[in-house]
Every structure is written in C-alpha cells, then in structure tokens.
Structure 1
Amino acid sequence: MKRITVLVVASLLVLGQAHAQTKPRVKTDKTITSKEKVTTEHYTFQLSDKVTRQEVTFKNRYGITIAADLYLPKRRGNEPLAALVISGPFGAVKEQSSGLYANEMAARGFVTLAFDPSFTGESGGEVRNVASPDIYTEDFSAAVDYIGLVESVDRSRIGAIGICGLSGMALTAASSDTRIKAVATASMYDMSRSMSRSHKDGYTLEQRMQVMDYLSQQRWEDAENGHYALGLHEVPFDENGKMVKGKRVLPEALPKEADPVLAAFFDYYRTPRGFHPRSINSLTAWTATTPMAFFNFPMAANIEMISPRPIMLIAGENAHSRYYSEDVYKRASEPKELVLVPNADHVDLYDRTELIPFGKLASFFNDHLKTAKTDQAEKAKGNGSANGK
C-alpha cells in the first residue's frame, strides 16, 4: 500500500565497546562519552549520554581507507543489534550531520556507523576533494562489510541512511547490495541529475553542451598544470546566459539580499552551527572536473531492484530539493513511504533535532530490521488470529 505521511512535529525528545573480527579495527583509546570534552576533534553536536563513540577505519574494494565513527548504545543485552550505515551531506564530514544522525539512532538502540566518503574528511584517496558516484556508492557497501563484522551486530539486520547528496549513493548501493535490508534518505539530492541537468532540470540542451565542453577543456588545463583545479560542481549560468565559475562552494561572507537557499546553506556550513574545517562546503570546493563522472552515472537507475526491501524518503515541506524525493517515490517499487516535514527546509533536516523525525526513522528500521525470532512470533500471532484463536 502506498503511503505518503505528513508529520506534525511539535518537538522530539533527544533522547561497551565492540570488537570486529578483522583488521584494522576500533581504536579503543579514542572512546568518548558525553561527559568528556573533545579536545582534538570538533563535532557539531553533543554526544548522547546513552552512547559511546569510537574511531574506526576500513577499506573499500578499491583499497581506499575509509574513516568512520562507530556509535554504540551503552545499554544492550546479549542479543545482537540492528545496525545502520550513514553518510552525507555531499561535501560534509562525519563530525557534522551524519554523525548527528548516527548519535540519535544509536541512542534509540541501533549500532551506527557514520563515515567520510573516499577523498574527503579523514578518509584516504588521492586526489583530494574529488567525488565519484561509483566509489561513493561502493563506500556504503564497504561500510556494510565493516559493520557486519562487529560482534554486537546482527548482520542480517543492516540498513542505510543517506543525507542530501549521499542519498542517491545509498539508494544506488541498496539497488545492488541485498545486505542493505532497508534504506532511508533525508533531504535527498540526486547529484547526477543536479550536475548534469541543473536545479529542476533547468539546463537547456545548449547549456548542457557548454558545461560538458568546459569540463573537457578543464582536463587539458589540469594536465598542463600538473594539478587539479577547484571549481563549482553545479555550474550555474547568470541572467545573461554566461557560465559562472568559482573556487568555493560557499562565499566567505553572505552577500546582501542573498538567495534564501544560499543563505540556508551558509547558515549551516559557514557559522558555528555546522562549520567544520575538514568540510569541503565549509572552506573550499570540489575539483572542477568532478561533474564529468556524474554526467555518465545516473543515480538509482535500478531503483526498482530495491523492492521488496523498503524505502523511506524524508523531505522538508519547504525544501527546494523536495522534488527529488517526490520523483524517486514515484519511480520506486513498493514498499515505500514519503515523509514530508512541515515548516522545514532542506538544511533544517541536517541538524534541527526538533524537526527531524528520528522517532519515525527508528520505527521504520525497527519494523523492517526485525529478528527472525520476531518475524516468526508475529506470523504465528497472525495465523492464530486468522484461526479465531
């Protein structure tokens, strides 16, 4: 049955060590609790007193080392727990939104892993600040590799959450990796569609060709200069139809009468609210030729293959990106659910805990990441009811 849910959110309650079986593994000397001050790393949120956090690393199938934070509920029984792998937004790091989501979901009983995609943050990979739709998708599966080896995790109960631009990679990973049993997105952005067609598919065919030629010629410049220039990953055109270039995702200072979308991003990445020195969006930009791969790699092209595993798409009612979630919802097979958060914009779902429907997310994953024992009990109960017992 199709479900489109509109949430009325007044307020949301913000609510031991694990050892995996392969190397490299958890750095136990970096365990942090909410009562301790973080002196060497800056996080944009407060760690829950129900959770511990540990730095971990693992490799993807390309041999790139991925840096992540493993969040574990302090109170857990002997039964292995469901787990979630989380990343995003595009150009953010694990100390920002993905870590906040991991922290909140761990406080609700899940083992969670927030990771930096390849070439960004503390993860490995050269050249820095380059994005790959293929490798970023692989990073989700590599995260599943890792978390499935953590002793306290039931590897048959793993889900994924993608935030903003990493949502497309989470969906794409789930379309081919059946170990991901359920997937949720928040403020989804389809980066392939955004880079190759612009916002709301606003590029004309001529403009698409201009961007492709610009990217192609930039490769000659990079080859001649011996280094990779920075540039805008979503290349805009001004009111005169001229291509706009730049070397920062966000400006140093917010211009007067700024576009509301720019102002929302600026308020998160460039202020103490969400600033992080390793975040591409906070200080710098992607390599100028980053969009080339996204022109060739449509995200979620096989989204119907996720079914019968469920999808939840969460978007702000007022988000400029809302249409991405709505379009994916139309394309996806059942079971699926679209959750629209009233009075929320795109960036609100990065960190506004009074708006982000964490209770809804927890219910979604609890319902769809059940143990075999729970499934059998529910089936038996259902059969009993059918027989009049």
Structure 2
Amino acid sequence: MSTTKEHYTFQLSDKVSRKKVSFKNRYGIILSGDLYLPKNAGNEKLPALAISGPFGAVKEQSSGLYANEMAQRGFAVIAFDPSYTGQSGGEPRNLASPEINTEDFSAAVDFLGIQKNIDRNKIGIIGICGFGGFALNAAAVDKRVKVVAASTMYDMTRVMSKGYNDVVTPEQRTQTLEQLGEQRWKDAESGSFASGPLLNAEKLKGDEPQFVKEYHDYYRTERGFHERSLNSTGAWNATNPISFMNMPILTYIKEISPRPVLIIAGENAHSRYFSEDAFKAAAEPKELIIVPDAVHTDLYDKLDKIPFGKLDNFFKTHLN
C-alpha cells in the first residue's frame, strides 16, 4: 500500500480541482485542509461546505472523498485535519477535544466565508463518524452554519463516558476516572504523554466483534489506509478521554432549529442508535435516512451506499 505524503484513498474527479490550504482556529492552532472546487464554476459565488471526520482519520480518507463528490455537484468544499492530528498543528499530538474539535468546524467556516468566490451566507457542514457529533454541536453554537449533516455519526462524549449502549455503571465510571488520574501522575513524572492502546491492530485474531473487523477492513487495508491516520497506524494519548467524560456535546442540539438537520446512518451499523437518538433530540426541520444493508464503515467510502444525491439535494435546497 502507498505511504507517500500525497497518498489519497480515492481518485480526484477530473471535474474538480484540489489545493492545499491552511487556516487558524480561535486557539491559534493552524489547521491543514484541502479545498475542492468545481472546475466549471466560472465567476459565480459558490455555496460552500466544511467536512471533517471520521474520529481519528485524516483528510486524505473519508472527508476528502465526501469533498470530492460534493465539489462535483457545484459546492466549494474544504476537508480538513482536526487540531492535533494529521498535518494540522497543535501539541501534544494524538489528542482530541470536544470543545476544540467543535471550534475546528467554526474555524473552517471562517476560512470559507472570507474567500472571494464563496457566498458566506450559504455555508453548511458535514461531520462523519465522531465528527458528526462535533458538527451538530458546532451548528448549534455557530449561527453562521446554515445547514448541517451528520453521516454514520458517533457522540464521542457519550460513548467515552457511558460506553457502548450506555452500559457503564457509576462504579465503573469512578474507576475509569481514578485510572485516568493515576495516568496523569505518570505523565507528569515522565514529562511526556503515554499512548493508549493501538486503535486497529495490523492483524486480527479472528474472534473480534464484527464492528472491529469492519474498522480493520477500512483502516488497515488498501481500501482506506493512510500513514498519518491514527486509526491506521496509531493510538490516542492515554488520557485522551478526560475531557469527554463530562462535556455532553449534544446538550443544545435543539438550538440548531430552525436550520435543517440531516442525519444518515447504516441499517446494520453498530452506531445506529447514536443517530436515532440525536434525531429524536433535534427539533424540526430534521430528517433521518437509514441506508439499507449498510454498516458503519460503508458510509466512509462506499459510493453505492452513501446517499450523495440526497446530500446534494438537501444542501442545494437549504443553501438557496
């Protein structure tokens, strides 16, 4: 598999141009992105989208594929690496934050809104996987975002604090927090940040849960591998969960209204309940699409599964 610096997991459309860009978020972190533009745009001001995710991925993977597809449909699109990951800045590396990763979307909106060929009154965002949750949070707080879509979403604050299907007991939560506190002592003593467990093993034993096999099939094979992706090659810092434990990001999801929300999930995705619960919590106008026979990772890159026609119609209708 390719490990060159310019390796992308998909082919750039001949109808689209792509160029490297950078922009700064409110915390002074320089973010790296790829700006995708339709080649036939002319001089008209374009509607625009900002895209990021999945959680632990880079812009050369799923978010870039989404950007490539949406640019073919007439949008200016930026796919970006979040803070502390990929080619974006921020120290230490391999860190995520519900607040800063929400801010990353607003920083991308800043960037799009000052481009001469973009209509700043027609900007939407798409979040994939864990960044679906961050996108919904960003749309709630940033009224410049006119429309939001979340694809195969996770609520990372919920899964880290409560476990899958909310099975973590108060006693287990207390134990986890105590362990994280002990890890902080170790990091403070060593002067560096220990890594957590490898996100996706290079080889599977065969007895893993089905969704783990599905992640492996994307991140550890030619299909989706990228050397800068934590999900392909690395791990988060061991203390990464701390800020996710008591900052529920979907608290204000109703405040996205009256701006529209589109949530997309796979019928057979282990993560489907995140999408359904977010949809229930959101106010109108809202729409939930369940993709038949699709698992979580099918909506990363399967062009026959991702409803790009629906995304196109949704954004064109509401960014008019």
Normalised to the residue count of structure 1, the TM-score between the two structures is: 0.81
Structure with higher Rg: it is: 1
User: What percentage of aligned pairs have identical amino acids?
Assistant: 61
Q: Which segments of 5 or more consecutive residues in structure 2 lack a partner in the other structure?
A: none
User: Are positions 1:354 and 2:319 aligned together?
Assistant: no
Paired position in structure 1 for 2:248: 298
Q: 2:217 is matched with which residue: 267, 273, 277? A: 267
Paired with 2:231 and 2:244, the residues of 1 have a C-alpha distance of 18
Pairwise CA distance, 1:257:
3.0
Q: What does residue range 161-240 of structure 1 map to in structure 2 within 5 Å?
A: 161-231=126-196
Paired with 2:108 and 2:206, the residues of 1 have a C-alpha distance of 42
The 3 A distance-change label for structure 1 pair 230 and 40 is: closer
Pairwise CA distance, 1:40:
4.3
Amino acid at match of 2:171: E
Amino acid at match of 1:249: L
Q: Aligned to 1:313, what secondary structure does the other structure show?
A: strand
Q: Aligned to 2:223, what secondary structure does the other structure show?
A: coil
User: Are positions 1:144 and 2:117 aligned together?
Assistant: no
Pairwise CA distance, 1:205:
1.4
Paired position in structure 2 for 1:60: 25
Calculate the aligned-residue CA RMSD, in Å.
1.2
Pairwise CA distance, 1:202:
1.3
Paired position in structure 2 for 1:110: 75
Q: 1:132 is matched with which residue: 97, 113, 117? A: 97
Q: What does residue range 1-389 of structure 1 map to in structure 2 within 5 Å?
A: 40-231=5-196, 247-370=197-320
Amino acid at match of 2:64: G
| CA shift digits 1:119-160 (9 cap, x unpaired) | 000000000001111000000000000011111110000000
Paired with 2:175 and 2:129, the residues of 1 have a C-alpha distance of 26
Paired with 2:110 and 2:206, the residues of 1 have a C-alpha distance of 47
Which range moved further: 205-214 or 134-143?
205-214
Paired with 2:115 and 2:240, the residues of 1 have a C-alpha distance of 34
Q: Which segments of 5 or more consecutive residues in structure 1 lack a partner in the other structure?
A: 1-37, 232-246, 371-389
Pairwise CA distance, 1:79:
2.1
Q: Aligned to 2:146, what secondary structure does the other structure show?
A: strand
Q: Aligned to 2:83, what secondary structure does the other structure show?
A: coil
Paired with 1:139 and 1:369, the residues of 2 have a C-alpha distance of 21
Q: Which runs of 4+ in 1 moved over 6 A?
A: none
Normalised to the residue count of structure 2, the TM-score between the two structures is: 0.98
Q: Aligned to 2:245, what secondary structure does the other structure show?
A: helix
